Amino acid sequence: MEFELKLVTDIDTAQDYLKGILWSIFFHRLFGSIVPQDNHNFLGVPYPTTEFPELDRLIESKIDCIVGELAGKNRDSDNEELIYKCVIVVKFYEKSTVLESVGEPQILKGGNVASQSSRSNSQSGSSSSILMPQRTRKYQNCWEKWVLTVTILNNRNSRMLEMDNNSRLDFYKEDFERNLFKLIAYMDKNKSHIPPIQSIDRSPFPYKILFALNTHDSSSLDTAFASFETLSDRQSPDTRGSSNSESQGSVEYITTTEGGDIIMGNPGNNGDDPKTSGYRAIPSGEEMLRNGYKFLRKFLE
């Protein structure tokens, strides 16, 4: 089952806004014994968390990457972009499996990767080499998917600086609250798709978070997710066909610690054409400034 939320924030508030929404999703998907914490809020709007350092680090790392990339763009004094786009996809699976295969690299006693020449000399006893197992985690049977399309306003833009700061914060607060209530309504209304819980762990179902920048098209992440999923969870070749080929071709993968977590889309060709995408186009920055936040609020309804 798939759910979608449309978020609007700016560079200064994105860290706390995204953390609040992601934590709210995960809090309602932790089925083990947990103790709620109510000391977190976004602009005065509380959201639920619990003591789960591993998950908190994962959420923080994703958001740090997003905000860090955008902050890097803003160091350019000539940057006058008004809006940035981002899509975050969270998937929950029934189970995951660690697969092991034996292969390269071969390691010497000293800890160096063995070259072809050193391998030939290893029989002399001066060094030794071992085959290191390569572990890959594969995720199976996705039962829930969350798509967060995020519009991040560049409040360092010279024209944005002319707008009232309190009005902006009030808008972000209302938008966060609206999405929080929508999220909870989704959770309360849709429960029959949740698989049987067979573990007393806090998080009995494995999950994966990926995101793409410069796009609102979640299909730009299909290839990245496919590398983590079993064959049965991937789309068939026919489904991945020509309709998204242009979008896939414009995506540049940047390796992180987990591999494939940051995906930088090409701003000039990001697959957000309303004629070919199921998402409504976000209005241009000029349109936002011309019509004000009332227009933006109406657009999000």
Average pLDDT score over the chain: 74
User: What's the predicted TM-score (pTM) here?
Assistant: 0.71
At residue 161, the pLDDT reads 75
At residue 158, the pLDDT reads 73
Q: Choose the weakest-confidence range: 122-136, 177-191, 226-240, 252-266.
A: 252-266
At residue 46, the pLDDT reads 94
Residue 112 resides in a domain = no
Buried b (16+ CB within 10 A) or exposed e, 45-80: eebbbbebeebeebbeebbebbbebbeeeeeeeeee
At residue 263, the pLDDT reads 47
Which amino acid appears at position 201 of this protein?
A: D
Q: pLDDT band for 239, please (50, 70, 90 cuts).
A: very low
Residue 119 resides in a domain = no
Residue 130 resides in a domain = no
Q: pLDDT band for 72, please (50, 70, 90 cuts).
A: confident
Q: Which two tokens stand for residue 146?
A: 């969350």
Helix axis angle for 165-189 and 285-300, nearest 10°, is 40
> Which position has the higher pLDDT, 100 or 192?
192
Spatial separation of the C-alpha atoms in residues 243 and 220, rounded to whole Å: 12
> Which position has the higher pLDDT, 37 or 67?
67
What pLDDT, in 10s, does the model give residues 126-159? 444 455 556 778 898 899 999 999 999 988 777 7
Residue range(s) defining the domain that contains residue 221: 2-99+137-300
Residue 123 resides in a domain = no
Residue 131 resides in a domain = no
Residue 125 resides in a domain = no
Counted residue by residue, the chain has a size of 301
Q: Which two tokens stand for residue 84?
A: 């940035």
Residue 111 resides in a domain = no
What pLDDT, in 10s, does the model give residues 75-110? 665 667 888 999 999 999 998 888 776 555 544 444
Residue 53 resides in a domain = yes
Give how many domains the chain has, as a whole number: 1
